[in-house]
Amino acid sequence: MRRLRQAKIVATLGPSSATPEMIRALFDAGADVFRFNFSHGSHADHHARYQIVRQVEREVGRPIGVLADLQGPKLRIGQFAGGRAVLQAGHVFTLDRDAAPGDQHRVCLPHPELFEAIHAGQSLLIDDGKLRLQVEASQGDAIRTRVVNGGVVSDRKGVNVPDAVLPIPALTAKDRRDLDFALEMGADWIALSFVQRPEDVLEARALVAGRASILSKLEKPAALERLDEIVAVSDAIMVARGDLGVELPPECVPGTQKRILRACRQQGKPIVIATQMLESMIAAPVPTRAEVSDVASAIYDGSDAVMLSAESANGSYPLQAVTMMDRVIAEVEKDPLYRTLMQAQYAAPERNRPDAICAALRDVTGILGASATVTYTSSGHTSLRAARERPAAPILCITPQLATARRLALVWGVHSTISEAVHDERQMVSAACQAAVREGFARKGDQIAITAGMPFGQPGSTNLLRVAEVWG
């Protein structure tokens, strides 16, 4: 089952999309990767949905990616007497270590590591930024603030600290339990929440030990200070605009999104744009025009994938949301301006053989009007490098590794198929022609461009480019 588009769709599974019928329908409508959100649901819930996804994969004969999204160190205040309080602008409000119920003057902040990290002059945001506090003083057991934007606050609301790199572990005890479960379950991608520095990614990578690829979610301003380093140690990046949009001024989010996207394109790392893309479709069967423009803008910029969160997880119209996203992507990719804008993001190849081969591959497919770009890979490196070039012809990946094919489901333009390993160039050309016809990319007489690494099966050895005519 071939997609007639290059950018991919990530759909979050949840109560609205838990049945075999719905998950199959979401795949048929265009979902390439399914996200399992470990902030919600039990391990039993996730395992049941995972089994359904793999059954759909067997039915359709196409690799499907599974993304396990860890909750991360989400900060929350304690509870209030009566469940809520009203904070008045201009009044003093204290966050302390006292577990007693709070009121309009104080509340518990059950994160002792924050009291030394927060200083006068910094801001605290509560409930997705609805309330803003200005820190006046921070002692060992209390943070005194002045309420800038007041309002009603209730139990366990989230806290954001946009002005500080927080001394909190990248993986909580819950995250470690969820990570073990996700890896045992068979997740292809692990998403790390609230990444602040490259060391956060390296810590997770040591635990994952090659069993999955790592996607870093950028949702804190501190991460932007070390953006290139974080991209370098990650396998993919997500622009998580929920918390990022809380901690940054709203007017800064679009430019930040484009900056992150450019960094990923430069390093050839897949990038996912997420959060509130078709938000109104949680409750309505059609999106707003502004939401459609938001999705289209991400595609015009060359994003690898766009993601649905609550729209597909617990909204009333999950199938319509995926269908709409598929339609928007397909329409953008038909626009001649699409390729012009993507070429503006083009990153010059580095002085090595894989970059030279894949840059030539891009030129060859354009000059010849090739029907497909065929990549042979065991690790996925060749297909990733080809995708960085954004060739005019779709990328048909041939790999003997099912795990590699599943991970590449997130990557722009890559359609993966499983095949036995080839041992020489003649076998390679024959298998490429057969796969191109079988998967619907080419017909007899078409030209295809093939790239691989020799000796075959050796990761990271891309050094061969071959043009072939498809025979009958």
Full DSSP string of 234-271: -SEEEEEHHHHHHHS-GGGHHHHHHHHHHHHHHHT--E
131-138 vs 142-149, strand pairing mode: antiparallel
> What span, in angstroms and rounded, lies between the C-alpha atoms of 75 and 442?
52
User: Which long-range contacts (C-beta less than 8 Å, at least 24 apart) are formed by 101-107?
Assistant: 102/77, 102/78, 107/77, 107/78, 107/79, 107/80, 107/153
> What span, in angstroms and rounded, lies between the C-alpha atoms of 222 and 161?
10
Please indicate whether residue 76 is annotated as part of the active site. yes
Residue 356: CB partners within 8 Å, gap ≥ 6? 349
Q: Which of 275, 375, 399, 451 is catalytic?
A: 275
Dihedral pair phi/psi, residue 74, rounded to 5°: -75, 125
Q: What angle do CA 203, 208, 209 make, to 5 degrees?
A: 100
Structure tokens belonging to residue 401: 């590794």
Q: Which of 5, 8, 35, 407 is catalytic?
A: 35
Q: Which of 197, 217, 390, 406 is catalytic?
A: 217
User: Which long-range contacts (C-beta less than 8 Å, at least 24 apart) are formed by 221-224?
Assistant: 221/162, 221/163, 221/247, 221/248, 222/164, 222/165, 222/166, 222/196, 222/197, 223/195, 223/196, 223/197, 224/256, 224/259, 224/260
Q: What angle do CA 122, 123, 127 make, to 5 degrees?
A: 160
> What span, in angstroms and rounded, lies between the C-alpha atoms of 245 and 247?
6
Query: Tokens 């600290």 — which residue?
Result: 161
Q: Do the Cβ atoms of 33 and 42 come closer than 8 Å?
A: no
> What span, in angstroms and rounded, lies between the C-alpha atoms of 223 and 215?
14
Q: Do the Cβ atoms of 407 and 435 come closer than 8 Å?
A: no
Please indicate whether residue 35 is annotated as part of the active site. yes
Question: Is residue 177 within a helix (H) or strand (E), and if so which, with residue range?
Answer: helix 173-185
> Would you give the DSSP letter of residue 158?
B
How far, CA to CA in Å, does 121 sit from each of 72, 112, 136? 26, 19, 6
CA dihedral 218, 319, 305, 234 (to 10 degrees): 50
Q: Do the Cβ atoms of 239 and 303 come closer than 8 Å?
A: no
Residue 308: CB partners within 8 Å, gap ≥ 6? 9, 10, 11, 12, 277, 278, 318, 321, 322, 325
The set of catalytic residues is 35, 76, 217, 275
